[in-house]
Amino acid sequence: MRSQPGIRVISPGRPRPPVRMVTMRTAADEAAGDMAARLAAGQARTREAHEHLAGVTVAHAAEAERIRADGAERNERAQAQPDAATAQAGAGLERVRADSAREREELRQVPGGRANVLEEARAGLRARAGRPGREPGHVRAGLAEPGRA
């Protein structure tokens, strides 16, 4: 083969230097050792992450179970409370009905009571006037005037 400008031809009969091959093999062995160390470190980190994830998963499952149990307990209390609330509301309703009946009865008695109060007031005014035949309106007018008593 002929040599061309910029291209170097290596003759097939020319052996490569053995030192260079040993150096390349040593460099490759070192690189493989570095890669093996990195691989081992990566695997260790992966194991740690897996163990952490397993622990967190167990803790999460326990928390979810606690929340579920708490929700079930609240649900049971809520279902029991409407019955108690209904009974309490019924008792309150009975109290309101009794109070309403009592107030209606009192209101029915008021007109009769007012008439009694008015009769008593008229009798009192007549007695104070000393004149049983006079009307209470004249007595009030007389009491209102300062010169007359």
The SS3 call for residue 15 is coil
85 within domain boundaries:
yes
44 within domain boundaries:
yes
126 within domain boundaries:
no
Domain carrying residue 85:
18-96
32 within domain boundaries:
yes
Question: What local confidence, expressed as pLDDT, does residue 145 receive?
Answer: 62
Question: What local confidence, expressed as pLDDT, does residue 54 receive?
Answer: 92
Could you give the number of structural domains in the chain?
1
48 within domain boundaries:
yes
Question: What local confidence, expressed as pLDDT, does residue 149 receive?
Answer: 46
Q: pTM of the entire structure?
A: 0.35
* Residue 21, number of CB atoms within 10 A of its CB: 10
Per residue in 60-71, pLDDT (tens digit) is 999 999 999 999
35 within domain boundaries:
yes
The SS3 call for residue 42 is helix
65 within domain boundaries:
yes
What tokens does 17 get?
Answer: 């230097």
| pLDDT-flagged residues of the chain (< 50) | 1, 148-149
